[in-house]
Structure 1
């Protein structure tokens, strides 16, 4: 089987992607210049992993490509700003509207919840039996494709 179709977008929104500068104590735009990006959460169907990918709408520059991990701590700081940290960086997404922020945040929460369930499932099944079906399907995949309609799509 080909793995080219093993990853799918489960949510898409438009946002300004930011990274936090610890030294300067301020948020800076990710990438060469500020600008609106199409930000998506991708789910790898075979590995049951997730990542956030963002590309600038104007020039398609990749401004974020961040794997989501179990127990990810994230914060919706206000109605249109979501932030989280990985081992190297603090990321922020400033959405154009509350609806996009809400849908994206709900999908992020479902992805992290799914990763946490899979981690619990695989650790308990590994200790009780050698045949593990964690991430093999069934009811583990409950996240559907989500998208927020916007006027004037690019």
Structure 2
């Protein structure tokens, strides 16, 4: 098996999960990841030398997904805010992540789902390390806030044991 094939097989699932969690639906995530890996294959001699080839593919896939949405919004929908994007309703985590701002979703996807360090995430997104930690903190606080009412409601609905 060649070098690129091994790279692809070892990282494709993690990249897909991260892109799916960052936003969009399953089909859009599949398309973005496929396009990112196709670009990586075409530039494999350069991408292979990158300090984090998987991170390169992740950022490329996120950029592909973002540019597709921007083009669709301009051509078909006019000036509609990004929040109105149709989300595929499968999985509680994806529903919760979809409520976060785009940059927070990307940080959660890269830091927690792709298991990149703060420095790697900052480098890939082109932001400061402190900004990564701030976005992650805000995202986790928001997710906890959304989860707490559900947990409290579940406790209230549970019959008391005598």
TM-score, normalised with respect to structure 2: 0.32
Which structure has more helix as a fraction of its residues?
2
Which structure has more strand as a fraction of its residues?
1
Which has the larger Rg?
2
